[in-house]
Structure 1
């Protein structure tokens, strides 16, 4: 039977975990992006600004709205308790923090034309914070703490980048939750009216295909190298890279099943994605045994090149043109897709920054 170091040893001989703090920062970012997207059209409607707090229950909200609002704040309540290290005041402050954040968000939403400020949302969000904070009291036990410390000790690089990177990988999963965007894709082909553009190649169709395939390959290689720099031992590098990709693929399948019409289940994949993914996997296999700094450099260059592909893409995607693929209502779809797109825009820059910091050894070991 394999033995692990006792939790007292790990707690005393390893750096204090900051993963809850990092997760809190990223999750707050997601909540704010989802709550205020598309960040335009701000106006004052003339109603008393605090009146909505006492409005009667709105009749037009559905079970989906309420369930989503509850679940959205469960992770927030959980991580707030963990961040405060389960002190006696952690539970009430976490619940109060969740309710306060929700009340503030709803207050600001009344100035957005595409949003409706609702006291029911505050109640649902508060219920989610209560559930999350209560759940944290159980999973924050000594046995769970020991599991995390053992996992970090055995599998992650002993550096601050490992915990930041782990949270950043979780943020990458958010970018894969929109099934109208190709898996690992950095571009989205417009399906609306034809858009004229100037192609540097005589065959414009081939130019678009090459851009899409190369974007997928570069994205895959950059992600794999990013995951690789977080892993402590070489023997775990390949399973970590392919495990991350497998979870991302499962998420894409899950959200495709939930959001897309049955006939459009595979709208997120095409031959260019397959070709790009195969090319990316081949590159990963060739580069898997590079040392950590070279992986970081290669990953940063790959994601930088993938950004270049997205900038060179000449077509502008239109959400309204993809509505026929979905079963969701337009409002839900707009907010969800907007959040995934915004996180996708931010994610490469954070990953590149961490990998460059690894190259220049800016992280404390």
Structure 2
């Protein structure tokens, strides 16, 4: 891959990261997208409200934090650096003002100039980090690390971005580890089983889904690696990392009695089978891993469609100790990203297959 191709790929990854951030921002700001109505007040009146207007520490802190990666990714789009910084601030300003303007038409939302200022503070912080000399030095070391350990394909860059997004989707502690299903309260509930033994059917669906999810996620990561020696270490790091994220999210969000409620024999059996299969396929070629990850991803989605028990949103929210409104937004966002991730991962894996089968058309 030439230097010019590398810069183009880096720019594309930064652009896609910025787009993902924008989608998250609009989703969190406008969910549940219902009740649209014009209040009759002048447009953009919120910009002249006396400060502070509608101050809530959690909301304002979230408004700062969510714009840090947005400003960071926007500031990586252009050279020279100060052009990128100005672009990041300009686009973040338009995004923030546009979101607050749309919130004027939602009765459950409050348009606020303080939110705009918090958003710009986060974008400035992210953009400053991106253009700082310290980051440039760290970015150089990061690129060297990426070249040493990962394959030299653009699909790998997109895969690393999607891997980070996958970790975000796992921050819902009510969803089992690598599980495609979660038990609602009050089981069992009536359902029609395609097998004579309904307990066996539930076991096959839940254990098979957990096995396929684990296999798909881990092989998605190992198929990006260049050296075989890195694969088994990366599997252990990913499993330890996702366990830590689950436990951290559970400790912060869930009530104490619900910390380990998602653990059951079906899930443990599926994860054990998935780990054994993973250890076998991790020793195969990158192409075999990529194809296996595609099949496992499709199997996991198929298992999710077979799950016969409906979720009850109020039951799940009762496990948490956060305010209802914040939980509803967070849960909706994670569900949205969880639904989006398999399709994006499938496209990335197919692109990786193409680049592995046609290396002469990728390298220049």
Normalised by the length of structure 1, the TM-score is 0.89
For residue 337 of structure 2, what is the aligned residue in structure 1?
A: 343
Check whether the contact 1:11–1:149 (CA below 8 A) recurs between aligned residues. no
Instruction: Look up the match of 1:7.
Output: none
Match of 2:288 among 277, 286, 294: 294
Q: Please list the CA deviations of residues 136-165 of structure 1 after superposition, one character each: whole Å capped at 9, or x if unmatched.
A: 233664422320221121011101011100
Counterpart of 2:232 (choices 238, 260, 275) is 238
Q: For the structure 1 residues 198 and 113, does the alpha-carbon distance in structure 2 shift closer, same or farther, using more than 3 Å as the test?
A: farther
Query: Which residue, out of 223, 231, 242, partners 1:229?
Result: 223
Are 1:320 and 2:314 an aligned pair? yes
Match of 2:57 in 1: 63
Residues 53 and 269 of structure 1: CA distance in aligned 2, closer, same or farther (over 3 Å):
farther
Distance 1:139 1:275, change over 3 A: farther
Matching residue of 2:6: 15
Higher mean C-alpha displacement, 78-87 vs 301-310: 78-87
Return the offset for 1:11.
8.1
CA contact (8 A) 1:186 1:219 kept: yes
8 Å Cα contact 1:191/1:321 also seen in 2: yes
Partner in structure 1 of residue 117 of structure 2: 123
Distance 1:297 1:356, change over 3 A: same
Deviation at 1:204, TM superposition (A): 2.5
Equivalent pair of 1:192/1:321 in contact (CA under 8 Å): no
8 Å CA contact retained: 1:54, 1:119: yes
Superposed displacement of residue 307, structure 1: 0.5
How far did 1:222 drift?
0.7
TM-superposed deviation, 1:218 = 0.3
Contact 1:185 1:215 in 2 (8 A): yes
Contact 1:218 1:306 in 2 (8 A): yes
| Partners of 2:136 and 2:145 in 1: CA distance | 14
TM-score, normalised by the number of residues in structure 2: 0.90
Residues in 1 aligned to 2:278 and 2:65: alpha-carbon distance in whole angstroms: 36
Say what the alpha-carbon RMSD is for the aligned residues. Answer: 2.4
Cα distance, 1:315 vs. partner? 1.9
Alignment of 1:1-365 (within 5 A): 12=3, 15-16=6-7, 17-18=10-11, 19-57=13-51, 61-85=55-79, 87-138=81-132, 141-191=135-185, 195-361=189-355, 364-365=362-363
CA contact (8 A) 1:225 1:295 kept: yes
What is the CA–CA distance in structure 1 between the aligned matches of 2:17 and 2:69, rounded to whole Å?
9
Deviations 1:252-272 (A, max 9, x none): 111111111222222343332
* Shift of residue 193, structure 1, vs aligned partner: 7.8
Cα distance between partner residues in 1 of 2:317 and 2:20: 29
Assess if the C-alpha contact under 8 Å between 1:294 and 1:359 holds in 2: no
**Per-residue Cα deviation, 1:12-63 (whole angstroms, up to 9, x for no partner):** 4972234323322322222223223333343334433322333345765421
Distance 2:166 2:313 in 1: 21
Shift of 1:101: 0.8
Question: How far apart in 1 are the matches of 2:39 and 2:259?
Answer: 41
Aligned residues: 356
For 2:237 and 2:156, the matched residues in 1 are separated by 16
The alpha-carbon distance between structure 1 residues 299 and 113, as it changes in their structure 2 partners (threshold 3 A), is farther
Aligned partners of 1:179 and 1:267 also within 8 Å: no
Structure 2 residue ranges without an equivalent (≥5): none
